[in-house]
Amino acid sequence: MNGNFADYHVPVNADIGELDVQFVGSPDTHFNALGVRGIGEIGITGVPAAIANAVYHATGVRVRDLPITLDKVAPQTNTTA
């Protein structure tokens, strides 16, 4: 764990190896007009859940819908009491 974001390693282009693009069979025009699909998003589907868990562990507030914003994390105060 890092004490601040300045010490956190963020991957950049130099950290990524060669990319291989493969075309599979025929186009799937039911998905979109171009008939193409990307699978890059599949690998990052767990990131929002991990961030939500980190917010919960840091604040004790469980946020169950995205985007996670300050108004969902900060306790609501009643000023009409």
Contact 62, 56 (CB under 8 A): yes
Euclidean distance between the first and the last CA atom of the chain, given in angstroms as a whole number: 42
Amino acid at 1: M
Q: In the Cβ-directed half-sphere of 1, how many Cα atoms lie within 13 Å?
A: 2
Does the annotation count 41 as an active-site position?
A: yes
Given the residues 15, 41, 65, 71, the one annotated as active site:
41
Cis peptide before 67 (omega within 30 of 0): yes
The residues annotated with a catalytic role in the active site are 41
